[in-house]
Structure 1
Amino acid sequence: MKNNHSLEGAVVFLIEDDSDIRFLFTFIFEAAGAKVCSAACLTEAKSMFKDYEATIVISDINLPDGNGLSIMQEVKNRERETGKLIPTIALTGMPGEQVEENISAAGFKHHLCKPVEIDNLMEMVAGLAGNSYSTLPLNVVS
């Protein structure tokens, strides 16, 4: 992983049930200067979301207690309240056109398929946060 990115000032709201992935992403985002709020399930995420001014929301789709697509209702409510758009990234282990359509229909702006290449994830997050990441060309799947 290259180390020329900055997420200073970003608040990443991460929803991921795999504890190893959640720990890794939290570590990497915090090392880049972001504040990270993480949740292991949908219920936890929904109860915590109101307490954070998320800059970016990253959510796994297949969660133990529901479909991660439903977090978009919380995001849309927050956007209406604040008047600020919140970039969103869906994470799945399932490639395919139907999956892309479902993610897009739910309101997610971007989709990454696992396993995620860390440099691509960091570049995307930094770009969405309006911060610098200068080593790789941006490959955003929308």
Structure 2
Amino acid sequence: MSNESMSFKGLRLLVVDDDLDTRTLLTFLFELDGAEILTAASAAEALEIISFFKPDILISDICLPDEDGYSLLVKIRNIEAKRGRKIPAIALTASAYDEDRKRASLAGYDIYRCKPIDLDELASVVASLAGLEQYV
């Protein structure tokens, strides 16, 4: 990320990606700036984590080994609706097709970003979704 210091202290993120390097990179960068992050390599792991962890933001890959990120988000949104919550969600994927972007929007993703990740832009998007206006 840029030399500008951001503070994500107190922010809780759930990162779902089958790529270990992506999970490690995002964990390192956001934890360095104070966020609490849990990661999952599959939709099943993410649903298990959601049972006890209440993230402020979901960052999820679309192509997961057990089910896609579209159906994962629908399940998470249903769980969170019962809790009276709605988690902002970022789709982070290698697919740059317009039809995938539209499908992600229809599934309920607030933001759609393609890999490779621009870390400064992702941090700005997370800050915006979290209402950390001083960093937008």
| Alignment TM-score, normalising by the size of structure 2 | 0.91
- Report the Cα distance in structure 1 between the residues aligned to 2:13 and 2:66, rounded to whole angstroms: 21
Q: How many residues matched? A: 135
Cα deviation per residue 1:79-125 (whole Å; 9 max; x = unaligned)? 32232321100011111210111101111111000001000001111
| Structure 1 partner of 2:62 | 61
SS in 1 for 2:34: coil
Q: Taking structure 1 as reference, are residues 100 and 91 closer, same or farther at Cα in structure 2, changes over 3 Å only?
A: same
Q: 1:92 to 1:133 in 2, by over 3 A?
A: farther
- Write the distance in 2 (CA, Å) between the matches of 1:14 and 1:27: 12
Q: Which residue of 1 aligns with 2:9?
A: 8
State the shift of 1:48 in Å.
1.5
In structure 1, the residue corresponding to 2:6 is in which secondary structure? coil
CA contact (8 A) 1:5 1:132 kept: no
CA distance in 2, matches of 1:125, 1:28: 12
DSSP 3-state at the match of 1:63:
coil
Indicate if the aligned counterparts of 1:16 and 1:59 stay in contact, CA closer than 8 A: yes
Structure 1, unpaired ranges of 5+: none
Is 1:24 aligned to 2:25, yes or no? yes
**Residue 73 of structure 1 aligns with which residue?**
74
**What CA RMSD, in Å, does the superposition of the two structures yield over aligned residues?**
1.5
Q: Partner of 2:34 in structure 1? A: 33
Q: Distance in 2 between matches of 1:52 and 1:62?
A: 23
Deviation for aligned residue 1:133: 5.4
2:53 is matched with 52
Alpha-carbon separation, structure 2, partners of 1:44 and 1:84? 20
| Cα pair 2:47 2:76 within 8 Å, conserved | no
TM-score normalised by L of structure 1: 0.88
Alpha-carbon offset, residue 47 of structure 1:
1.6
Q: Is the 8 A contact 1:17 1:39 kept in 2?
A: yes
Distance in 1 between the 2:79 and 2:5 partners?
31
